[in-house]
């Protein structure tokens, strides 16, 4: 077995047969073999079980003993066998981040990269391995279901959930700890972390109406997703609060993609050429809408004011810069991990209400409105 590198840096193998990390600390090399738990125990003057308790973070060890063991571990360059520890604890030491979308969306939409960044940052100080899985076909979905049913991971983070997605129910059936980014409905039973999508959308449309726009349209996400339903609900709430009616020809459904935004904007212009304000339920769709407005000779914001949702890099780099509803996407990823770790450790009470978190949103005003 190849010796594992020390945590936190590279190793160099010296001519004297000892490994040295980048700080110059001597460690056993290939010629001496990997240091064992027994060698650490002998060096520290304690039993093998005591060393195991220290390594696994048990509180049932005195400070003096813990210091002796940690010093022996450092001097010998001992690295715990994570595979053995995981087997003994019936753990896989891994979590899966599951995104049931094609790779074209994964790399095109900042939402996913921000979620992944947050998840990775929160997992950085743990011993858990992150497995990223895309689901593009029914065959891949079944293969993942079989993999999860075998409990090859300790928990699952599920992103971009559609109403008919069977994975959340499967995870509950096999008692796999899981956390969703978003939710399938208002009655979601699986733990989740979400944004205030309804309130954020309402603030966006109120802003457009407050700027004097009389014909405000919306481009929605796919309405089999609760996030899209909530943002459409926020649009309707703002329109009705202004004493207006929600007109069907001012609502165009899309799919959270740039091309979807283009198609929806063409539809809106065909149906209501007098549109003077648009709330797009994502920055990426707003970018597509902006292209069509430019092609049709409409100026933003002079002729049509435009607002997006997410406040991603897309919003900041548009011309003109896009007014957008900021959601803390990276923090959502971090929060998902924190909730999942509690689920894995059994810290949440499964007999009571499951962990459910809704993060606030904020309208960021820029030149597009």
CA distance 76 to 15: 18
Domains in the chain: boundaries: 37-89, 94-195+331-359, 197-327
The fold adopted by the segment(s) 37-89 is 434 Repressor (Amino-terminal Domain) (1.10.260)
pLDDT tens, 258-300?
999 999 999 999 999 999 999 999 999 999 999 999 999 999 9
pLDDT tens, 180-191?
999 999 999 899
Whether residue 351 contacts residue 334, with contact meaning beta carbons closer than 8 Å, is answered with no
| Element spanning 134, H or E | strand 129-134
pLDDT tens, 58-77?
677 888 998 999 899 888 88
- pLDDT at residue 55 in the model: 75
Instruction: Give the model's confidence band at 160: pLDDT under 50 very low, under 70 low, under 90 confident, else very high.
Output: confident
Please give the backbone phi and psi of residue 194, each rounded to the nearest 5 degrees, phi first: -135, 170
The fold adopted by the segment(s) 94-195+331-359 is Rossmann fold (3.40.50)
Averaged over 148-164, what is the pLDDT?
89
- pLDDT at residue 31 in the model: 44
User: Do 37-89 and 197-327 show the same overall fold?
Assistant: no
Whether residue 287 contacts residue 258, with contact meaning beta carbons closer than 8 Å, is answered with yes
pTM to 2 decimal places: 0.74
CA distance 180 to 198: 18
CA distance 18 to 12: 9
- pLDDT at residue 352 in the model: 56
Please give the backbone phi and psi of residue 27, each rounded to the nearest 5 degrees, phi first: -140, 160
Does 197-327 carry CATH code 3.40.50.2300?
A: yes
Contacts of 141 (CB under 8 A, 6+ apart): 100, 135, 167
């Amino acid at each position: 077995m190849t010796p594992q590198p020390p945590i936190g840096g590279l190793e160099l193998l010296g001519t004297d047969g000892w490994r040295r990390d980048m700080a110059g600390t001597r460690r056993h090399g290939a010629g001496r073999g990997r240091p064992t738990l027994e060698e650490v125990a002998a060096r520290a003057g304690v039993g093998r079980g005591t060393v195991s308790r220290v390594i696994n973070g048990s509180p049932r060890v005195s400070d003096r003993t813990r210091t002796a063991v940690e010093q022996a571990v450092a001097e010998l360059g001992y690295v715990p066998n994570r595979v053995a520890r995981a087997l003994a604890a019936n753990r896989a030491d891994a979590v899966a981040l599951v995104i049931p979308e094609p790779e074209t969306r994964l790399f095109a939409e900042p939402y996913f990269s921000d979620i992944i960044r947050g998840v990775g940052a929160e997992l950085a100080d743990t011993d858990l391995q992150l497995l990223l899985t895309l689901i593009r076909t029914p065959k891949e979905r079944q293969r993942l279901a079989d993999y999860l049913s075998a409990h090859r991971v300790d928990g699952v983070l599920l992103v971009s959930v559609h109403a008919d997605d069977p994975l959340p129910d499967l995870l509950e059936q096999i008692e796999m700890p899981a956390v969703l980014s978003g939710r399938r409905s208002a009655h979601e039973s699986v733990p989740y972390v979400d944004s205030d999508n309804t309130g954020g959308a309402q603030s966006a449309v109120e802003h457009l109406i407050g700027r004097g726009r009389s014909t405000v349209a919306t481009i929605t996400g796919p309405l089999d997703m609760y996030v899209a339903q909530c943002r459409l609900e926020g649009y309707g709430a703002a329109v009705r609060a202004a004493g207006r009616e929600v007109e069907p020809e001012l609502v165009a459904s899309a799919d959270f993609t740039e091309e979807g935004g283009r198609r929806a904007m063409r539809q809106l212009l065909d149906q209501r050429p007098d549109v003077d304000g648009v709330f797009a339920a994502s920055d990426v769709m707003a970018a597509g809408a902006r292209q069509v407005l430019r092609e049709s000779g409409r100026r933003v914001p002079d002729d049509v004011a435009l607002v997006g949702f997410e406040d991603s890099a897309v919003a900041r780099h548009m011309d003109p810069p896009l007014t957008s509803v900021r959601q803390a996407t990276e923090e959502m990823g971090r929060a998902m991990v924190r909730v999942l770790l509690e689920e894995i450790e059994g810290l949440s009470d499964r007999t009571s209400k499951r962990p459910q978190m809704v993060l606030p949103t904020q309208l960021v005003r820029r030149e597009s409105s």
